[in-house]
Structure 1
Amino acid sequence: MPESTLSPRIAVYTGTFDPVHYGHLDIIERGSLLFDRLIVGVGNNLDKKTLFTLEERVQLIREVTGAWRNVEVMSFDGLAVKFVRACGARLMLRGLRTLSDMEYEFTMSLMNRNLDPQIETVFLMAKEQFSHVSSSLLRQIAILGGDLSKFLPDPVRTALIERARK
């Protein structure tokens, strides 16, 4: 897709989202206010073993983002930067929680820029109450029977507890 057809008003927020939690949803909500259209791209990370299938993650995110009319949820395979371009977007949205996130995301944004110089990465800082929340920690808490109500919307919490029991 030539540069002229890439829209600066469309952003794509990619991730594994296994499971989607309030920290992710905060970035999605704030992104929906900044851009005309926000696409949540749900992918697989070769370094992560997921608890939910790709289809289940897409469905859970659709269920909890339905109130935001300019948010779409799609699955993708392969490189995130290629998915962003295929969506016609010029912007990749990323959330930052900690300094270690910053280092990882900075390196990733440089690599993405090398892969496609027309795609820009925009970072949103996590709100303080979400800066310690990660999907991997929430999966552990679910397996060990801890309280997840502060971290997950009801449909996601129910699905995670049921999956953790198996």
Structure 2
Amino acid sequence: MKVALFPGSFDPVTKAHVDIVKRSVSLFDKLYIGIGVNSNKQGFLTISQREQMLRAVFEHEPKIHVIAYEGLTVDFCKSISAGYMIRGIRTVSDFEYEKAIAQMNHALAPDIESIFIVSKPGYSSISSTIVREILRHQGDVSQFIPTEALEYL
């Protein structure tokens, strides 16, 4: 069985995230969306809100499972028997950052492959960080967020 993990903070989930998930789900038997918990960071949304939001967005896709985790992502991959890690690439700087992480992950867990999915051009400028900033200033984020996620904001 081919199992993959798409890790991230998803604070909040964006249309760019959804695009990466939809384009990668057909490659695997099971795709986990892993919400990384960083106890040193204060999130915009709670972990519970992010889990509920992601489940609402992907409720009609039986191959997708949403779960929060702590610790090293490669250790979490092992715990769910994921042999693949999906990462979205929007820009050249994303690639450099993700490449470094993939190389470190490979050193820690050579049996887990990192797979990069390049963002569609229309989504390359969308990031959770920018969406949070718009939200903090009471701006309209509906064009950047899946409809199912709006009620959680």
Aligned residue number for residue 116 of structure 2: 123
Q: CA deviation at 1:47?
A: 6.8
Tell me: higher relative CO, structure 1 or 2? Use CA pairs within 8 A at least 6 residues apart.
2
Q: Does the Cα contact within 8 Å between 1:29 and 1:68 map onto a contact in 2?
A: no
Aligned residue number for residue 28 of structure 1: 21
The correspondence for 1:76, drawn from 41, 44, 69, is 69
Query: Per the alignment, do residues 45 and 129 of structure 1 end up closer, same or farther by CA in structure 2, a change over 3 Å counting?
Result: farther
1:159 & 1:59 partners in 2: Cα distance? Answer: 8
Aligned residue number for residue 82 of structure 2: 89
Q: CA deviation at 1:158?
A: 3.1
Aligned residue number for residue 50 of structure 1: 43
**Does residue 150 of the first structure (1) align with residue 134 of the second (2)?**
no
1:131 & 1:75 partners in 2: Cα distance? Answer: 25
Identity of matched residues, %: 38
The unaligned stretches of length 5 or more in structure 2 are none
2:5 & 2:94 partners in 1: Cα distance? Answer: 18
Deviations 1:67-96 (A, max 9, x none): 211101111110111111111111001100
Aligned residue number for residue 63 of structure 1: 56
Aligned residue number for residue 99 of structure 2: 106
Q: Does the Cα contact within 8 Å between 2:131 and 2:141 map onto a contact in 1?
A: yes
Aligned residue number for residue 4 of structure 1: none
The correspondence for 2:31, drawn from 25, 28, 38, is 38
Q: Which amino acid aligns with 1:34?
A: L
Q: Which amino acid aligns with 2:72?
A: L
TM-score of the aligned structures, taking structure 1 as reference length: 0.87
1:102 & 1:48 partners in 2: Cα distance? Answer: 24
The unaligned stretches of length 5 or more in structure 1 are 1-6, 161-166
SS in 2 for 1:76: strand
